[in-house]
Structure 1
Amino acid sequence: MTRDHLLFIFAMAMAIGVAYGQRPAFGRCPNVTAKADFDIDKFVGQWNEIERSFYLFESSLSCTQLNFTLYENDTMRTEVTYRVPWRGTSSVSSYRVKDVSMTPGELNMVLDGPLPSVIARMAPGSGKYIVLDTDYTDYALIYSCTDLRLVHADFIWVLGRGKDISVDARTIVYSTLDKSKVNRDRLLLTNNKDC
């Protein structure tokens, strides 16, 4: 491969990463698996964002909360509430997840609203999120990765039922990321002050 080819591939990786709002990197997505015996009934409810990797569309948001609601038709609704600092107001984005019991621990979130499904699947926040680990009461670790063969773009979410998680939970989260070969050094603390 020539230098121009490598520069083109890198530029495409950066463009795709920016388009998805995620961090681009060379290589394929790491092979990760959802938490064994994942129990969606214990998982639903309200969670607070504690840490996350860089995500362009969330870079200046604070006080992010997620509320997962399960319905009888094997569908789940996810409402993401966040504060927009320059407006001084809160906003809500809603996503739907179909067939939650088909692949336990994998949440295929699609933006909910009037957009055609083809466009909604490509909207910021839509995608496959894998619950790598959770104890259901203190922490949850969620990972998403878009694989484009030569490059990938990924996203990490560390959630807690409260405004922070315990030291033991954080140790488990970091250990799980290390075992999964996911770089945890790029995690950023979420601004949960004055929420």
Structure 2
Amino acid sequence: MPNLNLTKFSGHWYEIERSFYLMELVRSCITVDITELPHGKLGVVIKAKSTWTGSFSFSEGVATPTRKDPSIVNYKVNSKLPKAFNKYVPRLVNYYLPGSGYYQVLRTDYGNYAIIYSCNDYGIAHTDLIWIWGRRKELNAEMRSDIYGLLSEYRLDSERLTLSKNANCTDDDD
């Protein structure tokens, strides 16, 4: 999606479906808030509820659109290291933190859904991940079917997707 409008894409998103991702196995009620930052960057805050403890965790980072295609972003998680360490190792640490990497917005209509894809090579392993985000907690069956059709155009298997654990999420969880 080479003409991604970052202003329209910004805002509050719910994770609706995803492919297997180890980091999200014990998480539910996942939301993503995207804000525009100076110099064309995006601030990203991911909120997730632990299915074990019921407590919430937050992950914050910055997504920098690539020059070649603004729908492809290099996302770096902000490290939680003490400031004394940050001046020595921030780039190296942030690159390898879970969640850091390249992500692409394959498709979005801005008001209802977004298809996010990531394929990262880490030398000894690689990840190939898909997320379906929605502006609301649920997508109707017709829209899901349309999204699955779009995934097949990219030769991505919708059978890999599982519904995100949003059944017991309240409005207070947003």
Q: Which moved more, 1:44-53 or 1:145-154?
A: 145-154
- Whether 1:159 aligns to 2:116 is no
User: Aligned-residue CA RMSD in angstroms?
Assistant: 1.9
Looking at structure 1, the residues matched to 19 and 59 of structure 2 have their Cα atoms a distance apart, in angstroms, of 19
How far did 1:166 drift? 2.9
- Whether 1:60 aligns to 2:26 is yes
One-letter code aligned to 2:5: D
The aligned length equals 160
Query: TM-score, normalised on structure 1?
Result: 0.76
Looking at structure 2, the residues matched to 178 and 133 of structure 1 have their Cα atoms a distance apart, in angstroms, of 12
One-letter code aligned to 2:161: L
- Whether 1:135 aligns to 2:109 is yes
Q: In the alignment, which residue of structure 2 is the partner of 1:106?
A: 72
How far did 1:152 drift? 4.3
Query: TM-score, normalised on structure 2?
Result: 0.84
One-letter code aligned to 2:115: L
* Structure 1 residue runs of 4 or more that deviate by more than 6 Å after TM superposition: 148-151
Assess if the C-alpha contact under 8 Å between 2:66 and 2:73 holds in 1: no
Query: In terms of Rg, which structure is larger?
Result: 1
How far did 1:149 drift? 9.1
Looking at structure 2, the residues matched to 64 and 183 of structure 1 have their Cα atoms a distance apart, in angstroms, of 22
Q: Mind listing any 5+ residue stretches in structure 2 that lack a counterpart?
A: 170-174
How far did 1:186 drift? 1.3
- Whether 1:87 aligns to 2:61 is no
Looking at structure 1, the residues matched to 39 and 114 of structure 2 have their Cα atoms a distance apart, in angstroms, of 24
